[in-house]
Amino acid sequence: MIEKFRDITILRMGDKNILTVACDSCGGIGNKEHDVIKVDPYVTGYYTAVVSLSETIALGAEPITVINTFAVEMNDTGRRIIKGINDALDKIGLDKESVVTGSTEENIPVTVTGIGLTVIGKLDTDIWNFPKAEAGNIAVAVGIPKVGNEVVGDKGEIMTLDILKKIKSLNFIQDVLPVGSKGIEYEVMEMARTSNVQFKGYTDINVNVNKSAGPVTCAVLAMDIKYIEQLRQIVNIPINIVGEFV
């Protein structure tokens, strides 16, 4: 059976075997002639991998393979992108030699960078349940929404894979949802929808809830407010309470 949960596709293959599929694409960011944002292709690979890996980890799945589909040549743009992907995998302790596979464009010269990335994960059905915010939980944005050159110039304000993995391991976190191009408010509303609760946003907050968070530069959490100071001690990037679930 195939079902959709937020940005993840879930494949149920019997009672015990569940696979997850997350994907992301990136275009016009690299070092080619017609790229809009000029960066080392390594950066393109790293942050594109962060998106799909974040979605997989946030759901509670273990990534088991990464598939890259590049609209660039292997030498040397593809190799630089793969180096970025591998370093993202290192952040969460995955064996890069066994999980990455894919293809490149070797027939047509291209002048703009374009890549797609798919992460397949697996769920431990003995301990996993759908994540769910509860009425009375607060909604917390961890990290600051950034996009484009803001990400390249970040000074320690954005979500990283190791921070996300640490957050996911905390037993007082009810739900985690990475924030991408649609912004914090959209993702909080999505969390409320899939949890069958309502979201009440606060007005006096220090983060733009409608701004794109690009390659998952922040995440939304559902949790009991009594643990907020404990979270601040564990996570060393900006934390903002943006509302509550009712």
Positions in the chain short of pLDDT 70: none
Q: Are residues 77 and 167 in the same domain?
A: no
Q: Name residue 131's amino acid.
A: P
Closest CA to 4 of 160, 139, 184, 193: 193
For 46-61, the pLDDT digits (tens) are 999 999 999 999 998 9
* pLDDT recorded at residue 174: 95
> 213: alpha, beta or left, given left = phi > 0 and alpha = psi -120 to 50?
alpha
pLDDT at 95: 79
The parent domain of residue 191 ranges over 138-245
Question: Is there a single domain that holds both residue 99 and residue 177?
Answer: no
Beta strands in the chain (DSSP E): 2-5, 8-12, 17-27, 29-30, 37-38, 62-70, 100-103, 114-124, 138-143, 173-179, 199-201, 218-223, 239-245
Same structural domain for residues 107 and 143?
A: no
Cβ contact 199:188 at 8 Å: yes
Residue 182 structure tokens = 């649609």
Quick one: 37 and 120 in the same domain?
yes
Q: Does residue 195 sit in helix, strand or coil?
A: helix
pTM of the model: 0.90
User: Would you state the structure tokens that stand for residue 227, as one six-digit string?
Assistant: 């643990």
